[in-house]
Amino acid sequence: MDKPAEMFDRDYEWSALSRFITDPQPGATLGVVSGRRRQGKTFLLDAACRAAGGFYFGATEAADAESLRRISSALTTHVRPASPFHFANWSEAVDALLALGAERPVPVVLDEFPYLAKANPELPSIVQEALRPLRDQRTGSRTRLLLCGSALSFMGRLLSGSAPLRGRAGLELVVRPLDHRLAAEFWNITDPRLALQVNSIVGGTPAYRREFARGDSPAGPEDFDDWVVRTILNPETPLFREARYLLAEEPDLRDTALYLSVLAAVADGNATRGGMAGYLERKATDIAHPINVLEDAGLLHRDADAFRDNRPTYRIAEPLIGFYHAIMRPVWDQLERPGSAARVWQASRRRFVSNVLGPHFEQVCRDWALHHADADVVGGLPARVGHGVVHDPKARSGHEVDVAVVGIADGHAKPPLLAIGEAKWNDTMGAAHIERLKHIRELIAQAGRYDTTRTRLLCFSGAGFNDKAHAAAESSPRIQLVDLARLYGQA
């Protein structure tokens, strides 16, 4: 299968789909494709069906009978049988889909599967029965049935625990947002500082450039403010209300006001359960369910503290939602009035740097350490990269560590702490930052949780480093300076 020329990246996803679809083994097989909205799942699967001569069906939010009529009509158009299909139930429809693969491997896609299952909760069990191992309709077919959905909470349960389809899928593919490097390439931005500023707002969601911004990308660093005003804060553009729609589209979110408030608390810097509860003036137990649902929906991410047990923090997983809650939601009434965007943005830039750009820069640094940094830079292969607070018993205070790179434990030995790092977006870093990291490394060694004998020190800065920092790094390979160019693979 040849990937369409107009498809940006997605090499891994296309390769996985190609292997699954073209697998010559007999018997129908099941695949599950999921991912947050606007990531290009539909484009990917539709292109795969076109390339392999398969059948694609995009479900809508409709009653079960209407969906059966729609798929009957779509399959009739695709197959052109002697008489049109009129499925009385989904068992008939699924068997007809299996019949498509009677002669060769053929992809069959049911997109937005959660809509179908919401109207007919028995549908996963019907698919399970249709794919029963020794059933003639399955053994005589090479249909590659792909169920796709954007409702992450539903899709996550589809193959878990005692779910009917547990153990039946031969492919579980998650279509993720583009990382910061690919997103810069996709937005055609070569300046790393500008790339990270844009990424902190729109993240790596492809549709935000192609469909929502109609290809409008900042012409250069001097155009960033104008781009925000005309593209993000402009009530005439789709991006203006997108963050609100993302929340409304999740089927498990019922009391929308409470979920919005939880996200607003996190966007305002209240990253712990206690902090969120205090912000909302509620008990921590009252917000446990909303937090869990937002996690399942992929909108909130739980980060374990690398140095303290049972002290997790939370961050908003979708940058556009974080930007909306930090910048747009507090002044929504003003922004809805045309012509107010420039004034609002001018007054919000400091808050943008502290509540949006700074935390996003820290997360990009962690992602870089986990996925992009060479092993000789961080001291080995990372098992996980997180952050946390190191307690200082003498000073009776805590030191925040923005980047903690933990290696793989060898047998019963303590896991090695490969590196710790500090990330500053607007500060030129110097010797004082390095000395602070050295002190923190000593405190971690005293705590005894990690092996710190080879722990390296990483300084991440969006503003650069002074001469003393460069001299320290040149004198010791255990000190690494990481600027924006290095984060983006330009150095």
DSSP H stretches of helix in 422-463? 431-447
User: What DSSP character marks residue 416?
Assistant: B
Residues whose CB falls within 8 Å of the CB of residue 424, separated by 6 or more in sequence, listed in order: 433, 460, 461, 462, 463
Helices (H), 221-337: 224-227, 239-248, 256-267, 273-280, 288-296, 319-323, 332-335
Q: What is the pLDDT of residue 412?
A: 75
For residue 212, the 8-state DSSP code is I
Burial letters for 70-85: b for 16+ Cβ neighbours within 10 Å, e otherwise? ebbeebeebeeeeeeb
Whole-angstrom Cα distance, residue 331 to residue 327? 7
pLDDT for 298 = 86
Using an 8 Å Cβ cutoff, are 366 and 385 in contact?
Answer: yes
Name the band, by pLDDT with cuts 50, 70 and 90, for residue 151: confident
Task: Give dist(CA 279, CA 273) in Å, integer.
Answer: 10
Summarised one tens digit per residue, pLDDT across range 390-447 is 999 998 999 999 999 999 998 778 999 999 999 999 999 999 999 999 999 999 999 9
> Is pLDDT above 80 for 266?
yes
Output the pLDDT for position 188.
96
Is residue 344's pLDDT more than 90?
Answer: yes
pLDDT tens figures, 270-280:
999 999 999 99
Statement: residue 332 has pLDDT above 80: yes
User: In the CATH hierarchy, which top-level class contains the domain 373-488?
Assistant: alpha beta
| Ranges of each domain in the chain | 11-174, 178-367, 373-488
Name the residue type at position 133: P
Asked if residues 167 and 283 have their Cβ atoms less than 8 Å apart, the reply is no
Q: Are 194 and 221 in contact (CB under 8 A)?
A: yes
What average pLDDT does the segment 125-137 reach? Answer: 95
pLDDT at residue 297 in the model? 84
Beta-carbon neighbour count of residue 95 at 10 Å? 16
Q: Model confidence at 325, in pLDDT bands (50, 70, 90)?
A: very high
β-sheet bridge partners, residue 417: 406
Average pLDDT over every residue of 308-328:
94
Which residues, 6 or more positions from 73, have their beta carbon under 8 angstroms from its beta carbon? Answer: 84, 85
Question: What is the rounded distance in angstroms from the CA atom of residue 148 to the CA atom of residue 385?
Answer: 30
Q: Which residues, listed in sequence order, are joined to residue 300 by a DSSP beta bridge?
A: 316
71 within 8 A of 77, measured Cβ to Cβ: no
**Cβ atoms of 444 and 389 closer than 8 Å:** no
For residue 152, what pLDDT is reported? 85
Residue 92 has pLDDT above 80, yes or no: yes
pLDDT digits over 229-265, tens only? 999 999 999 999 999 888 777 766 777 888 889 999 9
The predicted pLDDT at position 222 comes to 97
Give me the chain's average pLDDT, please: 94
Chain mean position to CA 485: 23
Note the pTM of the prediction, 2 decimals: 0.92
The reported pLDDT for the residue numbered 17 is: 97
Is 3.40.50.300 the CATH classification of the domain at 11-174?
yes
Q: What is the pLDDT of residues 29-78, one digit of tens each?
A: 999 999 988 999 999 999 999 999 999 999 999 999 999 999 999 999 99
**What share of the chain in percent tops pLDDT 70?**
99
Q: How, if at all, do strands 313-316 and 300-303 pair? A: antiparallel
DSSP string, 356-382: IIHHHHHHHHHHHHHHTS-HHHHTS--
**Structure confidence at residue 120 as a pLDDT band (50, 70, 90):** very high
> Into which CATH architecture does domain 178-367 fall?
Orthogonal Bundle (1.10)
| Beta-ladder partners of 111 | 58
8 A C-beta contact, residue 320 and residue 333: no
Residue 54 three-state SS: coil
Query: What is the model's pLDDT at position 283?
Result: 93
